[in-house]
Amino acid sequence: MYRVLTLTLVALAAALPAHAQNAQKVKEVLEGGPKPAITPQAPPLIPFSSKYKSGTILIDTKRRRLVYTLPGKRAYLYPITVGKLGFQWSGTHRISAKRDWPDWRPPAEMRERKPNLPLLMTGGLYNPLGAKALYIGSTLYRIHGTNNAGSIGLAASSGCIRMHNAHVTHLASIAKVGTKVIVKPQLPRSLARKFVPTAVPGVSQSAPQRRTAQRRSAPPRKRDMAWRRSILGLN
């Protein structure tokens, strides 16, 4: 009997380090950090004459731009992050809810790919959902802020649409619950030809303006290549 008890205690002792390591590795709840006030910042206005009603959100996955249509054949143009290869999608939905500093609950399939993710991370500056989230229908996808501003303009998410915190705060202030969201692989060139490089919130506008002037004076082929690079966020 004592021999069996001894063997059991030895087995438990051997298992404890692994258990302790896993407990440190995977936490059920992580704190998202502080929740400061974010000042909304409007992106550039562009001419945008289309069939879409005012107050519609259009997402161009290829060009990584979000358009919010306005009266008077105008629109706001925001730079965004889209899903990486294999995580891109398209369709028509509506905004079903809006949240300030939302909590993040990684879905089960994401935690299977990344076992170190928590079950829950509370809202805050460290939370990958950023300052605001606009929930898209009954899907798992959201238009949300980010704590990784360097990813804006890339295909880097698991399907959600990321925006600068100042931009998503602005969008959330004008887009109501029920707003139509149309996600397309690519908008027609006739609509996208007015797309321009969008400055990062808080950064001087002089550099983008200089690049625009240089493109206008460049030969046609170079101007076209510069436009393509700007759409891809390479400039």
Task: Catalytic residue, from 144, 164, 167, 170: name it.
Answer: 144
Task: Catalytic residue, from 19, 160, 164, 167: name it.
Answer: 160
Is residue 160 part of the annotated active site? The answer reads yes
Query: Which H or E run includes 211?
Result: helix 206-217
Is residue 19 part of the annotated active site? The answer reads no
Give yes or no for a contact between 106 and 18, defined as CB atoms under 8 angstroms apart: no
**199: which residues sit within 8 A by CB, 6+ positions away?**
44, 205, 208
| Residues annotated as part of the active site | 144, 160
